[in-house]
Chain A
Amino acid sequence: MITFIIRRILVMIPQLLLLSIIIFLLAKAMPGDAITGAFQGNPDADANHLEEIKEKMGLNDPWYQQYGRWLGNFVQGDMGMSYVHKQKVSSLLAGRLGNTLLLSIATMITIYLISIPLGIIAGRWHNSWADKLVVTYNYVALATPVFVFALIMLFIFGFSLGWFPITGSVDIRAENGSWEYYISKAKHLVLPTLSGAIIGTVGTIQYLRNDIIDTKLKDFVKTARAKGVPEGRVYTRHILRNSILPIAAFLGYEITLLITGSVFIESIYSYPGLGKLFIESISTRDFTVVSALVMISGAAVIVGTMLSDIILSIVDPRIRID
């Protein structure tokens, strides 16, 4: 196992290096840059000073020099300064990452809380009315765009019923660290979480249901039944253990999605997270932020895949990794 992990990490290095070159070249190929954009926005700004700054910041150097500088710093953990945010990229990302992680972990847990029981019900009693209800829900969820659904949730629970706050991640009036602070944070989390979770269950339910239906016809299940194992136990011990495999395999990928955030939900609920930051940084040409984010999510994908493999080998002893 350890050699496997080490091997995977070694493979990761050239992968990331290649990724970084591609990202850097693509970022540079985009027309415009952050400084010109900012100067465009300030009508009193002096065009000569713009050129001076571009020169000073090395934006006029050939790409390989810029890339070398950027990579050198990156390896040392210095992701550079965001021109638009006037802040170290690392602290900018750290600030947003907390929100994004909180939101996506809550969303992921909610997704599993909804979809695992529903998937089991639908699979165990398939073709029953309950199964049909679950499947219908699943297709409606699949067909609903997240920005429409988030707005409907906002409208019903935020405005009409007024149960939950509609903007931000916490009420500024609550004192940091106090009981109200955590309550307020939780309340602010409810709508964005549900907006993402309720229509995000499709994959999990579908996989689980199909796999259970498949597995319950297999020979070893028949054997178990023939031996007189109670029906409930057949499902929890024999079938579920097998059917949960694809979901466990997906867990690694899900972790990748955790840090990329959701642009729509963050934007509609004015919830400052990484997803929105990424899109915004692309349109303002804030290269340092864009490159750092792509590198991080690229690394997360690679790590996530590895995690998937490891989880899989733990859940299913038949899968051996040497």
Chain B
Amino acid sequence: MSKKSWLLLASLMLALSVFLAACSGKDNASEEGNTDSSGDKTEEEESGGELEFPLEVSNTDEGIKNGELNYAQVSDTPFEGTLSRVFYTNAPDGEIMDFFDEGLLATDGDYMITNDGDGAATYELSEDNKSITITIGDDVNWHDGEPVKASDLLYAYELLGHPDYTGTRYTFTISNIEGMDEYHKGEADEISGIEISEDDKTITLNYKTASPSILSGIWTYPVPRHHVGDVAAGELTIEEVESSEKIRTEPIGFGPYKVTKVIPGESVQYERYEDYHRGTPALESIVLKVYNPTSIVKAVKSGEVDVADIPADQYLNVKDLSNTELLGKVDLALTYIGFKLGEWDEKLGENVPDPDAKLADKRVRQAMWHAMDNDVIGKEMYHGLRFPATTLIVPVFESFHDESNPGRMYDPDKANELLDEAGYTERDADGFRLDPDGNEFVLTFASMSGGEAAEPIAEWYMQNWEDVGIKVELLDGRLHEMNSFYDRVRGDDPDIDIFQGAFGVGSDPDPSGLYGRNSSFNTTRYASEENDELLTKGTSEEAFDLDYRTDIYNQWQELMVEDVPFAPTVYRYEITVVNDRVSNLSIEPGTDNAKIWKWGVTEDKASAD
């Protein structure tokens, strides 16, 4: 290239860089401006107060009659579009279904079924709590006008328990039904424990054991047998149902809005269902569209989107928008550090703790929890959207999360004390503690890659532990991709001593699925008699009494703080940004305005920032 053209190239590059700088400069300026205007908020954060978000929008006006709501599904992948509660795999599909499909029974703030929530059906428990009778209201119809029948709910159970069913929802509350085992193994054609009344409006489910898990875990989503076709009658196979267009692009439900159109992977259009059993839904139509996380902020800003769940890393960009309100609630999720204490015994089907495990002394585990400064993680990495966790039951469960239990707060002195007490007193030349026998004490830490924060967080914890003299090294010296991480953690890789992971928590507060002796998902392999006893009590017949169950779970949380198989690190906030024109929307489970039919818009056009 000649000299001249280099000059030209250089000048062009210069021009481009000025242009780019101008773009980013503008952004910075507007951000600064916004921070100024909300100075008091910043002070509040600085003074140590936790972030507080409202759960409900302040706009309580009645919506306009012909309003259309734009709902954003924030995701960098197209949704799968399996629009059936029985078959779907991932949360985005569930988000789509919430608008047109709902459970027959209403649920309260603890995600437990209730007769007070104006549900499509009411229930009654038998004297011995072993059977439940659900009566469907007369005014409850599918979107095609057919009444919702008890046999439609039966159909859901027939699909879930079907020998060919490969989804994830054949759970305890399903298999606990009488005769379900036989049906699931293909030995019986019918589920003997389910009875249907003559008028096909009442269904009785009989359980093998009485367990309060049915109060939150019971399956109440019927499947429209007439619409999708009948597997039980041999009309089609399970595979044909799950890949059927009747589920994928023409699904029906009895929820507040009907699906009018689905563009696979990108958007869904709904219209008001006039015959909705609670009343006439406030909006005329809803459009749900997938937005990439990189473009969602701009779309919210311009008013193109009315409602969106915002990823934590975009929080700072939306928190001061003038055209929206931020709602936030604690998510059904938990991040933790797990301590490997034994192995999974495939034959016995139970976790077998090893009394000689490296971390068998609970004082060491307690000390490691005390050594972790989670407050810094929440504030620095997640702008306060994560905050230190105290117990293994997330605060979402109002009645079961023990507010009074402080967990183990950051306290390095206490950590040192505990370690000294446990006999880890001697130190090597670098200041790291030796184990009670005077041998080198090094722990291997497995952590997942993904997200910008993954590496600094792992480093931070290792630094925290080093501060109390515990030497921790990353497994293979690096972070691990999710699948291989879980593969090794679940496979009890002997190289792993501690690991950092996260749970999504189900709506059933019963912890036995994650921490029980017989659960292979209990990856620490912790088991103790006391734990077994409390978990059994928590789902026993007595536990139908809320106070009793609360007390048992408080004891269990205390036991976990004492034994520390898992050290919970942070809880998370889930942030929803809502345009000012949206009214009567709440994200608090169990409240009236959390029910989608209440949501309205009070202006024709959404306001822009």
Contacts and interface: CB of A to CB of B under 8 A. Distances in A.
Contact of A127 (B2, B295, B514): B2
A304 B5 CA distance: 37
A167 B295 contact: yes
Interface in A281-322: 283, 285
A283 to B, nearest CB: 7
B488 to A, nearest CB: 7
B505 A43 contact: yes
Interface string A227-242: 0000000000000000
B519 A47 contact: yes
B290 A136 contact: no
B347 to A, nearest CB: 13
Contacts of B5: 132, 135-136
B243 A140 contact: no
Interface of B: 1-2, 4-5, 8-9, 12-13, 16, 23, 75-78, 80-82, 87-91, 166-172, 175, 217, 239, 242-243, 248, 261, 263-269, 287, 289-292, 294-295, 298-299, 302, 304, 349, 482-484, 486-488, 490, 503-508, 513-514, 519-521
Interface string A261-274: 00000011111100
Contact of B506 (A39, A43, A270): A43
Contacts of B2: 127
Nearest to B165: A53
Given A45-B168, A272-B266, 10 more contacts: A31-B483, A35-B166, A38-B89, A45-B169, A91-B243, A136-B5, A159-B298, A270-B292, A271-B266, A272-B265
A85 interface: yes
B170 A269 contact: no
B243 A88 contact: yes
Given A31-B484, A136-B12, A151-B294, A168 B89 contact: no
Contact of B504 (A38, A43, A158): A43
Given A32-B487, A46-B175, A132-B5, A168 B289 contact: yes
B483 A85 contact: no
Interface string A25-53: 00000111001111111111111111001
Given A38-B168, A39-B168, A268 B292 contact: yes
A272 B78 contact: yes
Given A49-B170, A127-B2, A81 B8 contact: no
Contact of A56 (B166, B265, B302): B166
Contacts of B486: 32, 36-37, 40
B289 A167 contact: yes
A163 interface: no
5 contacts: A30-B483, A40-B486, A167-B292, A168-B290, A270-B78
A30 to B, nearest CB: 7
Contacts of A133: 8
A209 interface: no
Given A57-B166, A85-B80, A140-B13, A268 B89 contact: no
Contacts of B170: 46, 49
Nearest to B510: A44
A173 interface: yes
A86 interface: yes
Given A136-B9, A272-B78, A283-B483, A172 B89 contact: no
Contacts of A57: 166
**A-B interface, 7 closest residue pairs, ranked by CB to CB distance from nearest:** A32-B483, A272-B265, A31-B487, A272-B78, A44-B506, A31-B484, A43-B506
A86 B23 contact: no
B484 A86 contact: no
A37 B483 CA distance: 7
A173 B261 CA distance: 9
Given A86-B80, A135-B5, A42 B168 contact: yes
B272 to A, nearest CB: 15
Contacts of A276: 77-78
Contacts of B261: 172
A48 B482 contact: no
Interface residues of A, number: 64
A42 B82 CA distance: 16
A56 B2 CA distance: 68
A135 B1 contact: yes
Interface string A85-117: 111100100011000000000000000000000
Contacts of A158: 295, 298
Contacts of B521: 47
Contacts of A155: 23, 298
A268 B295 contact: yes
Interface of A: 30-32, 35-50, 53, 56-57, 81, 83-88, 91, 95-96, 127, 132-133, 135-136, 139-140, 151-152, 154-155, 158-159, 162, 166-170, 172-173, 267-272, 276-277, 280, 283, 285
Contacts of A132: 4-5, 8
A43 B78 CA distance: 23
Interface-centre pick from A42, A88, A277 (highest chain B CB count, 10 A):
A42
A96 B243 contact: no
A168 B72 CA distance: 12
B242 A269 contact: no
B401 to A, nearest CB: 16
Contacts of A154: 295
A37 B75 CA distance: 18
A32 B487 CA distance: 6
B81 to A, nearest CB: 8
A287 B268 CA distance: 28
B232 to A, nearest CB: 19
Contacts of A139: 9
Contacts of A91: 243
Contacts of A166: 291, 295, 298-299, 304
Nearest to B520: A47
A38 to B, nearest CB: 5
Contacts of A87: 80, 82, 242-243, 248
A86 B243 contact: yes
A166 B76 CA distance: 13
Contacts of A56: 166
B24 to A, nearest CB: 11
A46 B23 contact: no
Given A155-B23, A270-B290, A168 B266 contact: yes
Contacts of B304: 166
Given A30-B483, A83-B166, A267-B76, A169 B263 contact: yes
B169 A42 contact: yes
B503 A168 contact: no
A256 B362 CA distance: 59
A40 B89 CA distance: 11
B156 to A, nearest CB: 15
Given A86-B82, A168-B263, A285-B483, A41 B89 contact: yes
A42 B287 CA distance: 27
A40 B302 CA distance: 37
B269 A173 contact: yes
Contacts of B264: 95, 272
A46 B172 contact: yes
Contacts of A270: 75-76, 78, 266, 289-292
Contacts of B4: 132
A95 B514 CA distance: 38
A53 B166 contact: yes
Contacts of A42: 168-169, 504, 506
Contacts of A35: 166
A285 B302 CA distance: 37
Contacts of B82: 85-87
A81 B292 contact: no
Given A31-B487, A86-B243, A283-B482, A44 B89 contact: no
Given A84-B89, A280-B77, A44 B265 contact: no
